[in-house]
Structure 1
Amino acid sequence: MLDITLIMLGAGDSTRFGLPVKKQWLRVGSDPLWLVATKNLSGFYSFKDVIVVSKESEYMSSFAPNYKFINGGQTRQESLKNALSLVKSEFVLVSDIARPMIPKELFNKIIEGAKQADCVVPALKIADTAYLGEEAIDRERVKLIQTPQLSRTNLLKQALETDVTYTDDSSAIRAVGGSVWHILGDERARKITTKEDLSRLNLVSPSLEQFVGTGFDVHEFAKGRELWLCGEKLEFELGLKAHSDGDVALHALTDAILGAAGLGDIGELFPDTDANFKDISSMFLLKEAYKKVQSVGFELVNADITIMAEKPKISKFKRKMAENIAVALNLTPNRINVKATTTEKLGFVGRGEGIAVIASASLKYYDWTKI
């Protein structure tokens, strides 16, 4: 048995994918696509290590504690070099999380080819006439290169120590004089690049599970500040003390949405020690947090907000507050509920010293089958 480490590359931003969700976070059943792809390949062999490269490596690690995770770079090559720094095995198998259906037959052929060259590469032939610009070219000489690719680790590390950018491992290996062995690829190993590619794969629909999060926040009144609640400016002699604009209701809602997705809290994303967030709009922070939640595969089902304040009176603003949030999150207002209450003169709220808010939010998986 060969000494092999598996590297799964998934640090891209899915800019060509055309959906609010990164393709690596589309749910197949309950699992994100990156986990489906990794489980698929890692189930074929007893790898020394399984390394997943991502821009959300800390978050990913909560899904699969038995894998190793490392942050990616700005390019595929940078991401691969980061992962190779952890590799101690003689061989490394590099694949993309965007190829979730790699068949075992293809994997076996790659492993069997290890003795043939320094790098084993699956490649597809093309059946149609091919042109390069305005010139017809010999299609027999054209190959569509796929992953996974199996390489000798030390040679691949050496090959990537350059300023030249390579789009796959075999190109880098060949550039330093290494040998490359092509095997026949497989249509099932085609890469997901755009949303249209999803229809070519027989993937399970997302689970119908829902996830609930809660948020709670408190701010004291302060002179010389504007009072903002749910994105609505209220005419009142006092505002709320805060690093941002002090919209305590949106802070609680942001925490609820982040909590439902397991993404921490507002203070982690937008620390009050960062001058960039000084007096910033809390509605902007809510929208940015929700974009992050969407990018990892969720969408908001509904939210419920309870504002606790003795003053000012909020009842007449509730509908407009709900509309503000709905517009910001691209939802219909019936998905957002805003309530107001007092604490019957009890506690710091009852004494008119500040405002407290509790919020809850429910999320579901983004349903890519309906695009």
Structure 2
Amino acid sequence: MPDLTLVMLGAGSSSRFNRRVKKQWLRIGDLPLWLFAAQNLQQHLPFARTIVTTSPDERFYAEKFSDAICFVEGGETRQASLKNALLHVNTPYVLVSDIARACIDQALLMRLLDAKESADIVVPYLNVVDTVVYEHQTIEREDVKLIQTPQLSKTEVLRKALETPIAYTDDSSAIKAIGGSVAYVLGNANAKKLTCQEDLASLACLMPPSSDHFTGYGFDVHAYEEGKVMMLGGVEVHPDIGFKAHSDGDVAIHALIDALLGAAGAGDIGELFPDNDLRYKNIDSKILLREVCSFLAKVGFTITHCDLTVMAEFPRLSGFKDPIRFCLADILGIAPVHVNVKATTTEKLGFVGRKEGVAVSATATLKYYDWKNR
């Protein structure tokens, strides 16, 4: 049984990278960066367990990618996330790495492993080749080390070191602060941390995202309810006959949300917005759609097209199709021509034909965010 657990830290906000997409979710081929980075380490070393920290609102989606990884919700800081992860570590040693360091090679890992019994923590570093000035004074560059991850620690020592309100930027600083021993091994310039978009050009191990497109299908129905405004596709189409629903009942947006989530493999509207949650009581469905669009952008998708078919005997919708298209296009962030809305009856058949309610089917198409050509 291996005596080493891998912890991949990926719960950060990624604010320095891009306001639209989180670097953790950039696609490397078909893999999100966090999974690419984890698999890169797994192919070089045997681990008893792999733990990945994620932000709370992304954990459900990350879990859809693997049932062999333990996913843990991160905290407000790197240190808090690591403390959460350590609750699930049962091995004497733990290797802690940043998802943003995706190009780590086997030679670096072997140097860490070979030195694991020599100190409480083993740390990779790079030498400084330029002149170094600190507080207006030139200092000896031979005394300066650029610290990298992954760092290999004795688990119990690391746990003890993190029981402090002081925030440390890496594990070795925390262990050194409690008198623990630190061993340094030569790092690797290729193990550069992805911080800003400009860093992508220097990370040769990252292949561009797949050019595949993904299509999802959604379907929803709602019965009529008198005394309620009818909202359809974000547009008011009748003042006093609406839809019976927990939210505002916008059946078109609900079908579209399911189509978008389906294309991303992210479940359905009920998983994200349960109908027994009071936060969504009578909520404007446009708010829900904006949340879904924001989520899809964060996890690395671009919306390219959607198509809706509204099945209704009442009301007549010919005058509302264009307002719906323009409303949805604005929320989705795509051109109105890429939003298609069709309206039809069911020739008096079924519950729609009996004027008991409205049904809507929707399809949506996504592609990966193309970071390579940005």
What is the TM-score normalised by the length of structure 2? Answer: 0.95
Alignment-derived partner of residue 18 in structure 1: 18
Structure 1, 303-312 or 274-283: larger mean CA deviation = 274-283
Match of 2:199 among 188, 197, 200: 197
> What letter matches 1:59 in structure 2?
Y
Distance 2:350 2:193 in 1: 59
Alignment-derived partner of residue 179 in structure 2: 177
| Contact 1:226-1:239 at 8 Å conserved across structures | yes
Structure 1, 171-180 or 1-10: larger mean CA deviation = 1-10
Residues 134 and 247 (structure 1 numbering): CA distance in 2 closer, same or farther, change over 3 Å?
Answer: farther
| Contact 1:236-1:312 at 8 Å conserved across structures | no
1:286-325, aligned counterparts within 5 Å? 286-325=289-328
Q: Which runs of 5+ in 1 are unaligned?
A: none
Aligned residues: 371
Distance 1:323 1:265 in 2: 24
Distance 2:357 2:24 in 1: 43
Distance 2:290 2:105 in 1: 40
Shift of 1:69: 1.9
Residues 258 and 2 (structure 1 numbering): CA distance in 2 closer, same or farther, change over 3 Å?
Answer: closer
Alignment-derived partner of residue 74 in structure 2: 72
Alignment-derived partner of residue 141 in structure 1: 143
Distance 2:50 2:277 in 1: 36
Distance 1:219 1:285 in 2: 17
Structure 1, 81-90 or 147-156: larger mean CA deviation = 81-90
| Secondary structure of the corresponding residue to residue 307 of structure 1 | strand
Alignment-derived partner of residue 247 in structure 1: 250
Distance 1:330 1:248 in 2: 20
Alignment-derived partner of residue 57 in structure 1: 59
Structure 1, 30-39 or 49-58: larger mean CA deviation = 49-58
| Secondary structure of the corresponding residue to residue 11 of structure 1 | coil
| Contact 2:132-2:140 at 8 Å conserved across structures | yes
Shift of 1:116: 2.1
| Secondary structure of the corresponding residue to residue 115 of structure 1 | coil
Once the two structures are superposed, residues 256-278 of structure 1 have per-residue CA deviations (whole angstroms, 9 ceiling, x without a partner) of: 10111111222221222222222
Match of 1:261 among 240, 264, 281: 264
Residues 309 and 165 (structure 1 numbering): CA distance in 2 closer, same or farther, change over 3 Å?
Answer: same
Shift of 1:135: 4.4
Distance 1:136 1:213 in 2: 60
Shift of 1:174: 0.7
> What letter matches 2:369 in structure 1?
Y
Shift of 1:137: 3.9
| Contact 1:2-1:91 at 8 Å conserved across structures | no
In angstroms, what is the RMSD of aligned CA positions? Answer: 1.6
Match of 2:152 among 140, 150, 153: 150
1:23-38, aligned counterparts within 5 Å? 23-38=23-38
Alignment-derived partner of residue 210 in structure 2: 207
Once the two structures are superposed, residues 286-322 of structure 1 have per-residue CA deviations (whole angstroms, 9 ceiling, x without a partner) of: 0111111121111112111010110111012212211
Q: Which runs of 5+ in 2 are unaligned?
A: none
Structure 1, 270-279 or 223-232: larger mean CA deviation = 270-279
Alignment-derived partner of residue 94 in structure 2: 92
Shift of 1:61: 2.8
| Secondary structure of the corresponding residue to residue 178 of structure 1 | coil
Once the two structures are superposed, residues 227-260 of structure 1 have per-residue CA deviations (whole angstroms, 9 ceiling, x without a partner) of: 1111111244411122222211001101110111
Give identity over the alignment, percent: 53
